[in-house]
Structure formats: structure tokens, C-alpha cells
Amino acid sequence: MKYIGSILIVLGILMLIALYITHFSFINELTLSAFLIIILGVIVHVRYLKRQSDY
């Protein structure tokens, strides 16, 4: 559970790279889903860091 945010960010980036390499980057739904996975990963990562903080 500790690294799930980082894993989601990397998964979204790899998805965008795969879309670019396979020339499917023009499909908005796939690009949007990769973007949302990255945003979800950032949110999860920030929430985890805030919970671990003493402040």
C-alpha cells in the first residue's frame, strides 16, 4: 500500500508511452484514462505522505 501512488503514476506514464509508440495517441478515451491514472496516483501519494507526517 505504501507505493501504490508511485505505481499508478508509472503505470499511467507507461500507458502514454505505449500509446505514442503504437500511434494510438489520437484516441482521446485512452489518453484521458492514462491521464486520470496519473492524477489518481498523485492524489494517493500525497494522501499517504500527509498521513505519515506529524504536521
18-54 pLDDT per residue, tens: 999 999 989 999 999 999 999 999 999 999 999 888 7
With 80 as the cut, is the pLDDT of residue 1 above it?
A: no
CA dist 42 and 22 (Å) reads 26
For the chain, give the longest Cα–Cα distance.
46
| Burial bucket for residue 50 (CB in 10 Å: 0-12, 13-18, 19+) | exposed
Cβ proximity of 37 and 8 under 8 Å: yes
